[in-house]
């Protein structure tokens, strides 16, 4: 039977005045990024969970990546064994410390060079959808990154730490205190890494340089000057003396030195706090001035 | 030109196996160990024949099998069973011979070199397609004229608008003067003017060179403007193959009636009221089941008629009705 | 248009110079159109490519060498690795070497509609001699410095062996990257960046003297992820480190094996691609 005008009109009205949830109807908050008053943790958890399951779903292909990382670690350990091959007890102690340093650097490589996918999101235009979500944009990027770390921590970091003795490396921290101090130190290292990430994407938007080049810059200099590959004490030309004062050292060298009992944890963490503060103030300022460009960057 | 068809698909089947992922931690872990595979039958025994010089539109709802059909015709995919013969070639086995005679234009993928001026992409195509200089100059001259390439010739591809990029891509696909042109969503994202240019151009090359054109689009009015024949694919099978007029007839002789009357919308027994907009009441009726004078008589009995207009419903509405009926039938089948 | 003829493989081989000439023309136009941008890329490449070996060099400098390698020999290894990387960026750019990206992103379709064998597209499409040439120059500069400080006097035979090893290193890397990238035919999303992972492993491990590795690990670094072929094995052979233990034909032989593995894996992947195609498409990196 054909509908009457009244019935058809009723149907239209029902569709037209569908109720919008109040929370979604409010304007999207674009306020300062570190507004700690009401961080909706559940939303970030949901994003982190999706990122974690997405990465875990890669299955065998994740294993390929883990194997490559493991081989790289084994090679570095072998090189150190071939390089620091003295006979004295002091030589043995130094070798053991450097091996532990290298092992922990390899096991926590992603955290010691913390990098979000905000650059990719800007490049491919996904950032626009992040801006219209009722969450902090960089918070979402951080949540995604932490989510992606979980499968790697379970599938790579944990086995590496457990199986390290098989490779003749003692994975334990120098002392209980070192192990405890490592936790806040690693957190600060991650915070500095994220601040650097935000600074670099802001620079990318400002200069128009490509994300790929930014990453290459960071990898080429960051990993060397941060002590993530070679302990800074093994740098020539006096670099060993002044590199530890630089922010990059707070990203990797500081937590690794704390784990291996090389240096005063209080001083090292204090240095990290200082660089984290400076880094975040600079990153937020850069983000604030470049946000509009960032949204437009992906075209 | 030989009489054999340009394209023949005979009982073509194509199946994909998709791995399903888990959502909960247990599912994620369980499916890492024992993956769950979903089998999707993209094409289920498609039969299709396209004559040389014909323009054929391939349409269907999302997931119907359009893209698979286009990929088979482009030589990108091989059928699981059945045969695909195009321009007398097996698109997979005779790939090199075949692709040098076809032009493929994916509306959402550009063939242009991003950081280079448009001219460089044409120079690249000339070398890679091994086009004789005389043919290149002749073809480029015609395309430049018809598609207005002159103003974008020295502009890098990344600086082109969507419409300009589409024109350049279309010209690039047609540069080797192909016998068969496959256009996958060629009007997506284009404004009305750019769309009209593209459609006009396709009609023109078909008229002048008798080029066979296979075109897909979600915009059915575009397809109707370009092609005489439409092939509707649904759930991997040809659900309709014929002229657009016949397609309209499959959902009845649908007509629209717009009435401007002195009072409220009259209630017409044999027509469905759709809406009142700007004082005009719109109805849908089946011209095979009732007549216009009878409807007007009913309306006149209830109000004074100030204006009358009838028209065929847009082809999109016809297709939407068809899709809806298919979905309803599928739902009943489940 | 008449029926195109079926051409022989040699006909296509003969087309390679014309393809390179085309690549040169396009690259020259690109460089001349935005000299500032080109200068920026060239400078960045010249700095960043050798920077991959910075840790090794700094360590060698601090410890006056690494194991049996003197500082000059370590520098030779780094220069060789930089030159290999430079050749890859000159001849196989636009993600041709990172082919898992092209496969995973559905961009192989662009190559399959070209009327030429796929190998010709892959060999010629990534040729950018000017915009990608900075790393080659950097490699040559580093190698020149190191050779000047080495206690060897290269003769023509040595240079011939050097070039053969250099070519073999490039082939070995491409073979491995194509073999690993073939995973993307089966898992386009998960394995889209597998070439990047392999490349990172090669560039990060290829700049170390790998002496002292155990048998399986050393074999893996030659045959599976051939970081040892990036510079270590050829440099050992060319500089005579470890006596006659490393023959100069070792790298070419290993490269031939990897090339075969890469080709077989890629062909198997292509057969899979013919069956399932690509259900996704993103244009990142495509001809950019």
Q: Are C66 and A83 in contact (CB < 8 Å)? A: yes
Which pLDDT does position A29 carry in this prediction? Answer: 41
What is the arithmetic mean of pLDDT over A232-258?
88
Shortest CB distance from B28 goes to which of A2, A8, A56? A56
Give domain status of residue C8, yes or no: no
Phi then psi for residue C58, to 5 deg, are -65, -40
What residues in A contact C212, CB-CB < 8 Å? 78-79, 81-82
Give domain status of residue C6, yes or no: no
User: What CA–CA distance (Å, rounded) separates C184 from C191?
Assistant: 5
Q: Are A71 and C221 in contact (CB < 8 Å)? A: yes
- Angle (CA) A178 A179 A181, round 5°: 65
Chain C, nearest residue to B211 by Cα: C1
User: What CA–CA distance (Å, rounded) separates B177 from A121?
Assistant: 40
**Which DSSP string do the residues of C201-270 spell out, in sequence order?**
HHHHHTTS--TT--HHHHHHHHHTS-HIIIIIHHHHHHHTTTGGGS-TTHHHHHHHHHHHHHHHHHHHHH
Which pLDDT does position B84 carry in this prediction? Answer: 95
User: What CA–CA distance (Å, rounded) separates A2 from B325?
Assistant: 16
Q: Which of A129-138, B304-313, C247-256 has the lowest mean pLDDT?
A: A129-138
Which pLDDT does position C4 carry in this prediction? Answer: 61
**First and final CA of chain C: distance in angstroms?**
32
Chain centre to alpha carbon of residue B152:
27
Residue recorded with tokens 């040699």: C10
pLDDT at B208 over 90: no
pLDDT at B265 over 70: yes
Residue of B26, B29, B32, B159 to mutate when probing chain A, most A C-beta within 10 A? B32
Shortest CB distance from B267 goes to which of A5, A53, A59? A5
Q: Which of A267-281, A284-298, B82-96, B288-302 has the lowest mean pLDDT?
A: A284-298
Shortest CB distance from A216 goes to which of C40, C48, C183? C48
pLDDT at B145 over 90: no
- The answer to whether A252 touches A226, Cβ cutoff 8 Å, is yes
DSSP label of B40: E
Give domain status of residue C64, yes or no: yes
Q: Where are the alpha helices (DSSP H) in chain B?
A: 25-33, 66-73, 95-99, 118-128, 133-147, 162-174, 192-209, 220-226, 244-250, 292-300, 315-333
Could you tell me which residue, A136 or B151, shows the higher pLDDT? B151
Which pLDDT does position C45 carry in this prediction? Answer: 83
Shortest CB distance from B273 goes to which of A3, A53, A56? A3
Per-residue pLDDT band for A274 (boundaries 50, 70, 90) equals: very high
SS3 content of chain B, % helix, strand, coil (to 5): 40, 30, 30
For residue B157, give both structure tokens: 């591809």
Per-residue pLDDT band for A223 (boundaries 50, 70, 90) equals: confident
Read off the pLDDT of residues C103-128 as tens digits, 9 standing for 90 and up: 999 899 999 999 999 999 999 999 99
Find all residues with CB under 8 Å of B146, minimum gap 6, and list them: B201, B204, B205
Q: Which of A33-37, A121-125, B111-115, B169-173 has the lowest mean pLDDT?
A: A33-37
How much of chain A exceeds pLDDT 70, in percent? 81
Read off the pLDDT of residues B292-301 as tens digits, 9 standing for 90 and up: 899 999 998 9
Per-residue pLDDT band for A27 (boundaries 50, 70, 90) equals: very low
Q: Are C114 and B128 in contact (CB < 8 Å)? A: yes
Chain B residues with CB under 8 Å of a chain C CB are: 16-17, 68, 71, 74-78, 80, 92, 95-97, 99-102, 104, 106, 108-117, 120, 123-124, 127-130, 156, 158, 176-179
pLDDT at C184 over 70: yes
Identify the H or E element spanning B45. Answer: strand B36-50
Q: Are B129 and C277 in contact (CB < 8 Å)? A: no
Phi then psi for residue C278, to 5 deg, are -125, 130
- The answer to whether B90 touches B127, Cβ cutoff 8 Å, is no
Taking the CB of residue B243, how many other CB atoms lie within 10 A of it?
12
Per-residue pLDDT band for A9 (boundaries 50, 70, 90) equals: very low
**Chains meeting C at 3+ CB pairs closer than 8 A?**
A, B
- The range of the structural domain enclosing residue C200 comes to 15-286
pLDDT at B151 over 70: yes
Q: Which of A42-56, A227-241, C121-135, C212-226 has the lowest mean pLDDT?
A: A42-56
**Which DSSP string do the residues of B115-174 spell out, in sequence order?**
TSBHHHHHHHHHHHTT--HHHHHHHHHHHHHHHT-GGGTTSBGGGS-HHHHHHHHHHHHH
Please choose, from the candidates C16, C196, C195, C27, the residue with its C-alpha nearest in 3D space to the C-alpha of residue C123: C16
Q: Is C256 on the interface with A (CB under 8 A)?
A: no
**First and final CA of chain A: distance in angstroms?**
51
Q: How many CB pairs under 8 A join A and C?
A: 100
- The answer to whether A193 touches A142, Cβ cutoff 8 Å, is no
Total of domains in chain C: 1
pLDDT at C277 over 50: yes
Read off the pLDDT of residues C163-179 as tens digits, 9 standing for 90 and up: 999 999 999 999 999 99
Please choose, from the candidates B11, B8, B10, B30, the residue with its C-alpha nearest in 3D space to the C-alpha of residue B19: B30
DSSP label of C21: H
Which pLDDT does position A279 carry in this prediction? Answer: 92
pLDDT at C213 over 80: no
User: What CA–CA distance (Å, rounded) separates B102 from B100?
Assistant: 6
For strand B305-311 and strand B254-261, is the pairing parallel, antiparallel, or unpaired? antiparallel
What is the three-class DSSP state of B310? strand
Per-residue pLDDT band for B325 (boundaries 50, 70, 90) equals: confident
ipTM above 0.95 for this complex:
no
pLDDT at B277 over 80: yes
Residue recorded with tokens 């007509």: B255
Which pLDDT does position A292 carry in this prediction? Answer: 67
Residue recorded with tokens 């006096």: A238
Read off the pLDDT of residues A92-114 as tens digits, 9 standing for 90 and up: 888 889 999 999 999 999 899 88
Identify the H or E element spanning A241. Answer: helix A239-242
Which pLDDT does position A85 carry in this prediction? Answer: 72
Torsion angle of C-alpha atoms C118, C124, C125, C131, degrees rounded to 10: 160
CA distance B213 to chain C (A): 16
pLDDT at A187 over 80: yes
Chain A, nearest residue to C282 by Cα: A124
pLDDT at A4 over 70: no
- Give helix A176-207 / helix A265-297 axis angle, nearest 10°: 30
Per-residue pLDDT band for A23 (boundaries 50, 70, 90) equals: very low
Chain A, nearest residue to C283 by Cα: A124
pLDDT at B50 over 50: yes
Averaged pLDDT score across all residues of chain B? 86
Shortest CB distance from C48 goes to which of A71, A217, A237? A217
Q: Are A57 and B28 in contact (CB < 8 Å)? A: yes
pLDDT at A11 over 60: no
Which pLDDT does position A58 carry in this prediction? Answer: 61
Which pLDDT does position A64 carry in this prediction? Answer: 77
Phi then psi for residue B100, to 5 deg, are -75, -10
Q: Is C22 on the interface with B (CB under 8 A)?
A: yes
Find all residues with CB under 8 Å of B192, minimum gap 6, and list them: none
What is the three-class DSSP state of B73? helix
pLDDT at C2 over 70: no
String of b and e for A220-240 (b: at least 16 CB within 10 Å)?
bebbbbbbbbbbbbbbeeebb
For residue C80, give both structure tokens: 């060789």
- The answer to whether C77 touches C229, Cβ cutoff 8 Å, is no
Read off the pLDDT of residues C58-89 as tens digits, 9 standing for 90 and up: 888 888 888 889 999 999 999 999 999 999 99
Averaged pLDDT score across all residues of chain A? 78
Q: Which of A290-299, B192-201, C137-146, C209-218 has the lowest mean pLDDT?
A: A290-299
Read off the pLDDT of residues B55-95 as tens digits, 9 standing for 90 and up: 999 988 887 888 889 999 999 899 999 999 999 999 999 98
Phi then psi for residue A245, to 5 deg, are -85, -10
For strand B229-234 and strand B55-59, is the pairing parallel, antiparallel, or unpaired? parallel
Residue C281: exposed, middle, or buried by beta-carbon count in 10 A (0-12, 13-18, 19+)? middle
pLDDT at B248 over 80: no
Find all residues with CB under 8 Å of B108, minimum gap 6, and list them: B184, B185, B188, C281
Which pLDDT does position A295 carry in this prediction? Answer: 62
Could you tell me which residue, A3 or A135, shows the higher pLDDT? A135
Averaged pLDDT score across all residues of chain C? 88
Residue C64: exposed, middle, or buried by beta-carbon count in 10 A (0-12, 13-18, 19+)? exposed
Please choose, from the candidates B252, B200, B255, the residue with its C-alpha nearest in 3D space to the C-alpha of residue B225: B200
**Which DSSP string do the residues of A26-47 spell out, in sequence order?**
SPPP-S-TT--TT--HHHHHHH
Read off the pLDDT of residues A58-70 as tens digits, 9 standing for 90 and up: 666 678 778 888 8
User: What CA–CA distance (Å, rounded) separates A266 from A252?
Assistant: 16
Chain A, nearest residue to C186 by Cα: A61
- The answer to whether B319 touches B59, Cβ cutoff 8 Å, is yes
Q: Which of B26-30, C48-52, C134-138 has the lowest mean pLDDT?
A: B26-30
Q: Which of A36-50, B277-291, C269-283 has the lowest mean pLDDT?
A: A36-50
Read off the pLDDT of residues B156-188 as tens digits, 9 standing for 90 and up: 888 888 888 888 999 999 999 999 999 988 887
Most confident of A39-48, C54-63, C250-259, C276-285: C250-259
Q: How many CA atoms lie within 13 A of B49 on its CB side?
A: 5
User: What CA–CA distance (Å, rounded) separates C46 from C134?
Assistant: 5
Please choose, from the candidates A142, B54, A230, A266, the residue with its C-alpha nearest in 3D space to the C-alpha of residue C59: A230
Per-residue pLDDT band for A35 (boundaries 50, 70, 90) equals: low
What is the arithmetic mean of pLDDT over B148-160?
88
């Amino acid at each position: 039977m054909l509908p009457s005008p009244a019935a058809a009109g009723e149907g239209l009205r029902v569709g037209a005045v569908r109720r919008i949830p109040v929370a979604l109807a409010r304007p999207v908050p674009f306020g300062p990024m570190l507004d700690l008053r009401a961080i909706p943790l559940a939303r970030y958890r949901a994003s982190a969970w999706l990122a974690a399951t997405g990465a875990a779903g890669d299955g065998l292909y994740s294993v390929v990546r883990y194997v490559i990382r493991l081989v790289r670690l084994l090679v570095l350990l072998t090189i150190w064994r071939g390089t620091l091959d003295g006979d004295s007890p002091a030589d043995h102690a130094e070798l053991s410390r450097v091996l532990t340093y290298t092992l922990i650097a390899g096991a926590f490589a992603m955290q010691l060079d913390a990098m979000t996918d905000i650059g990719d999101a800007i490049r491919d235009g996904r950032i626009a959808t992040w801006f219209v979500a009722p969450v902090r944009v960089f918070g979402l990027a951080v949540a995604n990154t932490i989510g992606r770390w979980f499968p790697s921590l379970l599938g790579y970091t944990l086995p590496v730490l457990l199986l390290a003795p098989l490779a003749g490396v003692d994975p334990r921290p120098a002392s209980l205190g070192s192990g405890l101090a490592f936790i806040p130190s690693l957190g600060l290292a991650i915070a500095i890494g994220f601040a650097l990430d935000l600074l670099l994407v802001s620079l990318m938007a400002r200069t128009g340089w490509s994300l790929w080049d930014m990453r290459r810059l960071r990898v080429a200099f960051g990993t060397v000057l941060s002590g993530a590959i070679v302990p800074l004490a093994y740098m020539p030309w006096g670099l060993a003396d002044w590199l530890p004062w630089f922010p990059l050292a707070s990203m990797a060298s500081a937590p690794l030195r704390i784990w291996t009992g090389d240096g005063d944890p209080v001083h090292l963490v204090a240095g990290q706090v200082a660089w984290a503060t400076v880094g975040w103030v600079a990153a937020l300022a850069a983000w604030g001035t470049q946000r509009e460009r960032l949204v437009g960057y992906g075209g | 030109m030989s009489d054999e068809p340009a394209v023949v698909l005979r009982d073509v089947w194509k199946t994909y196996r998709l791995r399903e992922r888990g959502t909960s931690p247990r599912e994620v872990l369980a499916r890492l160990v024992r993956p769950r595979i979903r089998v999707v039958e993209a094409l289920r025994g498609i039969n299709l024949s396209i004559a040389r010089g014909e323009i054929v539109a391939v349409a269907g709802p999302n997931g119907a099998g359009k893209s698979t059909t286009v990929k088979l015709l482009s030589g990108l995919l091989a059928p699981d069973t059945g045969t695909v013969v195009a321009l007398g070639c097996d698109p997979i086995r005779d790939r090199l011979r075949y692709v040098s005679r076809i032009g493929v234009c994916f509306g959402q993928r550009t063939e242009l070199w991003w950081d280079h001026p448009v001219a460089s992409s044409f120079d690249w195509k000339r070398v890679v397609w091994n086009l004789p200089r005389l043919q290149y100059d002749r073809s480029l001259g015609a395309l430049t004229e018809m598609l207005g390439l002159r103003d974008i010739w020295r502009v890098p591809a990344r600086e082109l608008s969507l419409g300009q990029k589409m024109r350049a891509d279309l010209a690039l696909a047609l540069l080797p003067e192909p016998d068969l042109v496959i256009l996958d969503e060629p009007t997506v994202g284009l404004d009305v003017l750019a769309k009209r240019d593209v459609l006009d151009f396709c009609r023109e090359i078909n008229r002048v060179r008798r080029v066979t054109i296979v075109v897909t689009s979600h915009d059915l009015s575009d397809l109707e403007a370009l092609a005489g024949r439409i092939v509707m694919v649904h759930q991997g099978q040809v659900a309709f193959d014929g002229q657009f007029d016949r397609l309209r007839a499959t959902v009845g002789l649908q007509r629209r009636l717009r009435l401007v009357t002195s009072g409220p919308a009259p209630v017409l027994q044999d027509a469905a009221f759709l809406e009142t907009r700007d004082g005009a009441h719109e109805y849908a009726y089946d011209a095979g089941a009732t007549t216009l004078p009878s409807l007007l008589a009913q309306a006149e009995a209830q109000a004074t008629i100030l204006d009358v207009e009838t028209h065929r419903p847009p082809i999109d509405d016809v297709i939407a009705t068809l899709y809806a009926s298919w979905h309803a039938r599928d739902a009943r089948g489940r | 248009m008449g029926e195109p003829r079926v051409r022989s493989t040699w006909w296509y081989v003969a087309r390679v110079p014309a393809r390179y000439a085309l690549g040169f023309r396009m690259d020259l136009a690109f460089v001349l159109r935005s000299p500032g941008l080109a200068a920026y890329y060239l400078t960045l490449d010249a700095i960043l490519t050798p920077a991959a070996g910075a840790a090794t060099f700094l360590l060698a400098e601090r410890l006056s060498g690494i194991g049996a390698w003197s500082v000059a020999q370590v520098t030779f290894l780094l220069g060789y690795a930089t030159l290999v990387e430079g050749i890859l960026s000159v001849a196989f750019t636009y993600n041709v070497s990172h082919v898992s990206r092209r496969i995973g992103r559905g961009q192989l379709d662009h190559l399959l509609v070209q009327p030429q064998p796929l190998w010709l597209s892959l060999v010629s499409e990534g040729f950018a001699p000017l915009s990608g040439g900075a790393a080659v120059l950097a490699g040559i500069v580093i190698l020149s410095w190191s050779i000047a400080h080495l206690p060897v006097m290269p003769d023509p035979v040595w240079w011939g062996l050097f070039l053969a090893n250099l070519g073999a290193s490039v082939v070995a890397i491409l073979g491995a990257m194509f073999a690993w990238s073939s995973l993307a035919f089966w898992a386009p999303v998960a394995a889209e960046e597998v070439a990047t992972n392999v490349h990172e492993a090669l560039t990060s491990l290829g700049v170390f003297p790998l002496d002292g590795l155990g048998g399986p690990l050393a074999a893996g670094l030659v045959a599976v992820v051939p970081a040892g072929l990036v510079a270590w094995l050829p440099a050992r052979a060319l500089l005579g480190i470890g006596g006659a233990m490393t023959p100069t034909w070792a790298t070419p032989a290993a490269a031939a094996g990897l090339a075969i593995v890469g080709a077989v894996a890629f062909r198997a992947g292509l057969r899979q691609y013919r069956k399932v195609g690509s259900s996704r498409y993103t244009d990142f990196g495509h001809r950019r």
